[in-house]
Structure 1
């Protein structure tokens, strides 16, 4: 089997759309954005959904958990499929099939139907893995961390942009004569339709690697990412570094999801902020993905240039530890000014840690990038699930105790006591989570690379490249 010379890009030239790597970067980033936009698109409408479908508090919580759970399994599977069939076909089918439950969620009539849709909508969260695989295949080792982090960060914006975008879509359909009560349904149908169209764009305007598609390369005898997919996947499972990165991603992306998902209520309960004010603060932190995650990949690449693959690990360990310290410190503050300052630093470090993680991932197993990315990506959702369960359990116990202790003292007094109890419980949960993140930062130092791994990474830079290749 012959091996083609690499045409991976050694720089991220965002305006050179004639370049296959650059064009792929933009299409995969936009596709990722739309997937996250649709995945979390229902969030701004939850009060309407609860009223329309008659959801109980338990069903509402279950809808959140189901959306995260579906993503875990999808990410584990999609990475392996990327190694076998290539990211182009995987993303095409994910977007097309994933649009179905998004559209269906706007047509549901019962709580059960809604919960089923939320489970399957979670599958489009696997788009993150395909994005990371595709950019890893398109960019050389000197820039792959920056490319991965930027595409992921800009894609993640979809999870925050829906807070503004979905209400705007709803306002548009209302202006066309749709009732306010049905606006959320039409908005979800539109979001699903856009995902479907992006699937067609992905199929016709991208390719798996700078050299061509997996199918064509294999037909001509070229070596692609893996010789035998199953062997590569088994090797990934046995590699301890994969599971350390799984834990690391749980400690950064997983914690970001959980903290941002609970921060609105925490800011209201702790600092007596209005809901709109708290929501805008949380949204502004989500928008830091525009640059913060890119910084993590950028510095991962810079440390890699200075100290090789070990340098990437050292930076990851440092920024992850700082993330934990910021969260621990935030959990103990009672000053809104200091609290917002610490939240800014937490947002910066947690997103940089995410970028730094995927500046390391492409070097774990060059022949099974998809499998590694899938397992590590799934770690983020596992972390979010576990952290959410911790905060939910602590808060539920504290709130029930507060209600029981103040029963009969008046509704306003009971609500105040319940709010204070929830604030204290979540703060203690943040403290525990932050401490665990610091420990995970130390654990990152256990990731080691062999001399041959370092040589392979260096050789990637020595291969001929061409940033002007076109398809």
Structure 2
């Protein structure tokens, strides 16, 4: 596969088009961070308000990934990805036109839906690549697309300066950054690419039928026990939104009364989701339908993948948010120096996530790959928890990059398994697993924001307390990863047909069709 990857035809054309679609969705989703200080100065925002915007940026991604997974399984990845990219222009233009904090909040909440784009390409790539190559293919899709966050961080401030056409702030004698035009431009580019993607991508190779579940209102399970397990695993998806509502009330966005109203609405949303899942599986639950053994899957496999994505992707989103401050405070660096060093964590996506998928393809055991990578990630975080100002800076950077490799390789190995669990509901499974990544991010970021207060006994934390809270934060993530690694070895099962030429529920494509595909 590596030798053929640069061919811009057939499945490789689809792979490159799709990872770039994901790349643009991440450029849009993360277009706030590199311009945050400029926006704060322009609109007179406080630090707490900027942090609130960052939380809002991931809030609706949790339910959006579930909903996008349902839409994906029904309508296919071509239409779904195209529509999402065209939608991205709306929150970008709203944010660019915002005049006060409330307008910014609304725009960032809507922007969180764009973060759900990841799950779409998971199914698209799975349709075009056989199981024996799916780890590397999904790793390239996820890793190169995920690089959009780093690209946004490195370029948007410069683009904003270009779009100010040389204007200089007389008070600071620095170039004016036109943040409104820069953010609007990312949305417009995404929308234009969405149109291009609609007219140039296909859901499946020639001669292959796109498999859809009979009902996409909820996730289909194949045993009564698994239905109960599904209801249990849906609770954290609602719980983390309730946690977000509480956190936003703590920063003064609204009062306690409003928070309770939001909680009641979220409980109603959980009840509605549970009803939809019951509706999809009611024949199974009332005993009128039984799945033959070859058509069953264990929901426990989905659950363990959800947990792995909490500790790898969830921790990645959290670490990206705090790592510049960690290096700046620990080694007395300038913000620019700390930002450049911290970016090494995100840059590892280019090789780490495809590397995790490739290891999963070549090692011969996806279960072993998942367990080992998650365990090494836990050890890496525990070691980062020992970093102090007495460390040699290059050694701390190398440790950060090594830990980042295992985090992102673990993400690649997670989604090397997801498409192999149950083909016809891959979109919904990917949506559920992906949503748990955001669950992890919200939980970790909430812990991170509260640790200094906890360790400081409720007082304003000193620099020493902040440093101790950073080390404790890494240690918490390390322990969580080691626990999940142990669960991988005990609970996770090797998917059937992990290294087959074709998916087990798909008819073999004839040689003539393969030749046709390669000549597209």
Bin for the TM-score computed over the shorter chain: 0.7 to 0.9
Deviation, structure 1 residue 454:
8.1
Q: Is the 8 A contact 2:26 2:115 kept in 1?
A: yes
Q: In the alignment, does 2:317 pair up with 1:257? A: yes
**Greater share of helix:** 1
Contact 2:131–2:499 (Cα < 8 Å) also in 1: no
Report the Cα distance in structure 1 between the residues aligned to 2:61 and 2:118, rounded to whole angstroms. 10
- 1:168 pairs, out of 158, 170, 176, with 158
Give the unaligned 5+ runs of structure 1: 1-9, 213-221, 404-416
Greater CA drift, 448-457 or 390-399: 448-457
**Cα deviation 1:356-407 (Å, max 9, x = unaligned):** 001111111111111111111111111111001111110244468564xxxx
Question: How do 1:12-411 and structure 2 match up within 5 A?
Answer: 13-19=4-10, 21-175=11-165, 183-211=178-206, 223-230=209-216, 233-235=219-221, 238=230, 239-303=299-363, 306=364, 311-334=365-388, 335=391, 336-398=393-455, 403=460
TM-score (norm 1): 0.86
Tell me the alpha carbon deviations over residues 113-163 of structure 1, each in whole angstroms, 9 at most, x when there is no partner: 001111111111111111111111111111111000111100111101112
Count of aligned positions: 433
Measured in 2, the distance between the counterparts of 1:329 and 1:395 equals 20
Q: Which residue of 1 aligns with 2:476?
A: 432
Distance 2:168 2:27 in 1: 22
Question: Could you tell me how far apart the structure 1 residues matched to 2:499 and 2:350 are?
Answer: 31
CA distance in 2, matches of 1:31, 1:176: 31
Contact 1:153/1:293, CA 8 A, preserved across alignment: yes
Once residues 366 and 119 of structure 2 are traced to their aligned partners in structure 1, the CA distance between those partners, rounded to angstroms, is 20
* Structure 2 CA distance for aligned equivalents of residues 373 and 207 of structure 1: 20
Q: CA deviation at 1:57?
A: 3.0
Query: What CA distance in whole angstroms lies between the structure 1 residues aligned with 2:184 and 2:176?
Result: 15
Deviations 1:162-207 (A, max 9, x none): 1221022112112266985560001001111101101101100101
Q: Deviations over 1:56-87 (max 9, x none)?
A: 33322221111111111111111111111000
Secondary structure at 1:234's aligned position in 2?
A: coil
TM-score, normalised to structure 2, is 0.78
Q: Any stretches of 5+ residues in structure 2 without a counterpart?
A: 170-174, 231-298
Deviation at 1:112, TM superposition (A): 0.4
Q: Distance in 2 between matches of 1:397 and 1:53?
A: 32
Give the conservation status (yes or no) of the 8 Å contact 1:87–1:134: yes
CA distance in 2, matches of 1:428, 1:382: 20
Instruction: Label 1:289 to 1:450 Cα distance change in 2 as closer, same or farther (>3 A).
Output: closer
